[in-house]
Structure 1
Amino acid sequence: MKSFAPGVLERQKIPMAIVRAVGHVGELKGRLALHRHTRGDALLALAAERPTIRPLPPHAAPTPDYILQVHADVCADTTRPAGRWRPSDGVEDGLDGMLASRQQFRPPAAADVEELITTLCATYRARVAADDAEPLFALGAFTLDFLCVCPFAEGSARVGWRVADVVLRDLGYDVTRYVGLGSAVEDTLPACQAAFEASTKGWHAAWHDLTPWWAYFLATLTHTHEELDARLAAIPHGRVLKSDTVRKAIEELPSPFSISDLERACPEVSRPLIRRVMSEMKGTRIRLLGRGPRARWERI
């Protein structure tokens, strides 16, 4: 793809500020390791509140099939077409479309999407295997190219940031288990738009400047660590966690019960977290009775 075309990464003139930012996010790994020792329970609670993200095999690069599966996961609770490439040249509006709809940049034609994503995955995988580029620069370039292609009618940005979350975990940046890049992007949309606009000038000709996007990508990764610190600070030691509230309700509700019963018993808990706790307890503490909207659960 464009950012991995011959010579593109090599000709980037990287400012010292970006070099220092790479070092800084590396230092933040150590802070997270300390949190695991001192706030392990709180981290588990924050992880439980995050949407379950389909993992990649260790040290594996994203593939087109994996990306389609992530899109299906993103759209699972909606009526939107899921797990299919963009069928037309129009791009979506709103948060997902802001990277393409508000700028002069236009994504490639829909007819080219599958081939472009296949090429992007292959060239990224080859670059990682060569081990001749800073992994964060390679992932940042992959994410930019992905957003430029805008492979889905809706949900392209969410999928792109989720895929980046998963790859970052494989690189040792486990912060995305607790705070996703997408959340940080929502907090910094103007900066995201500015970086995207700056780095997509000349993209179609593979003659673009990646450094504005890299600076934003690293700042976003730093933001996730800062957000994690803030969320941990808001959880007092010994506080009753939302996941424990769900487990207590499961033990106390008349059996059998439905997910709706749990939602009424735990009004402050989101449905994704309720589902996650139930998934953890399935087979050992509870079992499913029936299928579909009338499905109910009973304690074992």
Structure 2
Amino acid sequence: MGSEVLSLVAQIHEFKGRQEMYLAQKPAALERLIETAEVQSTEASNKIEGIVTTRARIKQLCDEKTTPRNRDEEEISGYRDVLNTIHKSYKYIPLTPNYILQLHEMLYHYSGRCIGGRFKNVQNYISEPRADGTSFVRFTPLQPYETPDAIATICESYSKTIDDGVIDPLLLIPIFINDFLCIHPFNDGNGRMSRLLITLLLYRSGYVVGRYVSLEAKIERNKNAYYDVLQTASTRWHEEDNDFVPFIKYLLGTILSAYRDFEDRIQLVGEKLPAVELVRRATQKKVGKFTKSELMELCPSIKKASVENSLKKLVDNGEITRHSSGKNTFYTRNG
């Protein structure tokens, strides 16, 4: 695997140990992080697939204070339900084909499409767009008749290897997810299911950082790199001669970044300080440009209006500088 992969695994183990200490010390503060991460995960994982609605509607749907208005919101609501189920019951959801089908059925619970909880019945293809607007087939997954046995095989192999306890789950999880995506077992929802399964398998192995910092949001911000490493890791998959390492490195780097963010956020959330001081400390953790949204992630214990007022005070004090306007607004620290 190489020294880089081993270093990533070792660092994640270290952060995991410290996170367990924080979980014991600051349980009340964690609820605010959970709420923020749930909204971000639901929004980002669907956004990767082009399924979108406004941030306000996402929040209302996640809080279950409204009902879906269209197909996108139906699928967003389904994702919310699967994510919540994993959060609450991951210990009781073993990795089997039947449970994967049940989670997929839940994903389409609000949809009128009759594809939830069923493996694909038509051949699917992973296509890539060209600059001229046309597309080409980058990868041909397994055929429908091969799919049930293939999913059963990778589930059994993963579970047996986990039980053997020889190989670290952090290495096994990306290998399983890459195999899952190469099989592409469903007519629709493969990408979203793969990200939900990442969360499930990490939780079952004790890596619960995704509950407090959205892994999906990190993937969405780096989705070009995400697609690039998946393409590399799928090359020669049918010949059983593919290279998993690029995807392993990518996923481990994403998990490590989430653990680092968790430590930043829990330190701020746990402090009982005036809003302006919390925002000031959040800005001090930023390098280069930063936005109001990024500060709100670091300060989930205070409301949007308080963050806005605090930013204005810091600008007026000369501690930070505001650039541009409207949706393009960003800030930089002075000195």
What TM-score, normalized by structure 1, do the two folds share? 0.65
Q: Which has the higher contact order (CA 8 A, sep 6+)?
A: 1
Structure 1 residue 25 corresponds to structure 2 residue 12? yes
Unaligned runs of at least 5 residues, structure 1:
1-13, 95-100, 240-267, 269-300
AA partner of residue 192 (structure 1): Y
AA partner of residue 70 (structure 1): L
Q: Which of 75, 80, 84 is matched with 1:52 structurally?
A: 84
* Aligned 8 A contact 1:53 1:166 in 2: no
* CA deviation vs aligned residue, 1:65-122 (integer Å, no higher than 9, x gap): 110111122223333431111221124889xxxxxx8762221112221111111111
Unaligned runs of at least 5 residues, structure 2:
39-82, 129-134, 274-302, 304-335
Change (3 A) 1:178 1:141: same
Deviation at 1:48, TM superposition (A): 4.4
Structure 1 residue 69 corresponds to structure 2 residue 91? no
Structure 1 residue 228 corresponds to structure 2 residue 262? yes
AA partner of residue 258 (structure 2): T
Aligned residue for 2:225, secondary structure, equals helix
Change (3 A) 1:79 1:230: farther
Aligned residue for 1:136, secondary structure, equals helix
* Aligned 8 A contact 1:175 1:224 in 2: yes
Cα distance in 2 for partners of 1:41, 1:214 equals 34
Deviation at 1:179, TM superposition (A): 3.0
* CA deviation vs aligned residue, 1:20-52 (integer Å, no higher than 9, x gap): 000011111133224324542231233345240
Tell me how many residue pairs correspond in the alignment: 221
Cα distance in 1 for partners of 2:158, 2:184 equals 17
Cα distance in 2 for partners of 1:52, 1:45 equals 15
AA partner of residue 174 (structure 1): V
Deviation at 1:16, TM superposition (A): 0.5
Q: Which moved more, 1:144-153 or 1:67-76?
A: 67-76
Change (3 A) 1:207 1:155: same
Aligned match of 2:111: 78
Cα distance in 1 for partners of 2:127, 2:241 equals 27
* Aligned 8 A contact 2:127 2:138 in 1: no
RMSD over aligned CA atoms reads: 2.8
Cα distance in 2 for partners of 1:61, 1:210 equals 24
Cα distance in 1 for partners of 2:108, 2:261 equals 26
Aligned residue for 1:104, secondary structure, equals strand
Q: Which of 113, 120, 140 is matched with 2:154 structurally?
A: 120
Aligned residue for 2:152, secondary structure, equals helix
Change (3 A) 1:115 1:34: same
Structure 1 residue 202 corresponds to structure 2 residue 236? yes
Aligned residue for 2:148, secondary structure, equals helix
- Percent identity (aligned): 25
Cα distance in 2 for partners of 1:236, 1:128 equals 35
* Aligned 8 A contact 2:215 2:258 in 1: yes
Cα distance in 2 for partners of 1:52, 1:79 equals 22
Change (3 A) 1:207 1:77: same
* CA deviation vs aligned residue, 1:130-153 (integer Å, no higher than 9, x gap): 223222111111111011111112
- Alignment map for 1:259-274 (pairs within 5 Å): none
Deviation at 1:183, TM superposition (A): 2.7
Aligned match of 1:136: 170
Cα distance in 2 for partners of 1:105, 1:92 equals 5
